[in-house]
Amino acid sequence: MDDKSPQGSSDADAMPQAPPSSHLSIKRNAGFLHRVKLMCTKFPVRDSSWWVGVTFTVGSTAFVINGFFLFLPLEAPESIFAGEAAYGVPISGVIGGLVFVLGGWSTFLEGLNLKQERNVIMTAGVIVDDVEVPEKNGGKSIDVESSPKYVSESDHEPMRHSASPSASIRQTLDTSIAPGLAMIGSPAFLWYPSMRQFRKTYWSDMCFLSGLVTFIGTWIFLVGVLTSVPGVIDFTNIPLFYGSSLFPTTFGGVLFITASVMQMLSVQRKWYIPEPLHLDWHVGFVNLIGSVGFLLAGALPYIGTEEATRQSALSSLWGSWAFLVGSFLQWYWAMENYC
């Protein structure tokens, strides 16, 4: 999912500097086992990246169970148990679909707020001395109208003259710098962009567009899940079944593929050069595999053969597993901020 200092201020020159960068850097210990431990013990509910990883992990787990319910009866009929088709398949599918929508919403919020805290510091738990501030935005100027407003006493009270310029600079530093992602409930956090923000900033932001496509895809995919529940539609009406169940599932898979590719491209420095050393790139790549599985799960039944039905169930299973791995990696990646 950057301020210029006043001219002639010696305090501004004394501010900590770092090589040009679009993000602040904080000293962290990011060992693998330490981060996995944090995944089980720390619950940063104000972090939308954390919500993305957790919700999609839960939803993918439900879809993995659903995939087993769909595939095992075809591969091993002796595994069928009472209530599997009537309750196991629809309940696991609906749970997965609903939680995926929540995950899609979290992805949308993550993309929307990924760069919102670039100018806002949240000092709780962060030592200012450990934060490296990019010098003059790395050479970039701020668009005041599209950037979050600073939060200070001057926003609520009449302007008062400060006895010392350094006090004003320190106050600005203490209240207006924080690493990238805006936390839920912070002054800079956005629930939705204005049309002007969308036109000036977000329409070309690959991270935001990836989240938006994912969110739309989860709703469309949910339609396919709900209409596959016994009793919702007449399965003997083939055109109705194809149009209201298979098509949303297939189209949802197409949107998931699009969002996964966009996520990978947002990480790559050049669109044609992969970035396998970046964990976020692998999240997109594994999700791409899962998206293909969901696409095939919806598209193959159109063929109408027994083998196509079997491959559809199998695609749902391995696609769900791929999403589960990608979601776990997203969760693991989100905990980097707390190492």
- pLDDT tens column, 125-178: 443 333 434 444 444 444 433 344 334 333 444 444 444 444 444 444 333 333
Instruction: Note the pTM of the prediction, 2 decimals.
Output: 0.74
Query: End-to-end distance of the chain based on CA atoms, in angstroms?
Result: 19
DSSP track, 243-269: IIIIHHHHHHHHHHHHHHHHHHHHH-S
Q: Please state the length of the chain.
A: 339
Question: Which DSSP helix (H) or strand (E) runs through 268?
Answer: none
The predicted structure's pLDDT at residue 338 = 87
Residue ranges of the chain with per-residue pLDDT less than 70? 1-30, 117-179
As beta bridge partners, residue 18 has 134
Predicted pLDDT at 19: 43
- Angstrom distance (rounded) from CA 179 to CA 126: 10
pLDDT at 32: 87
> What is the predicted pLDDT for the residue at 117?
59
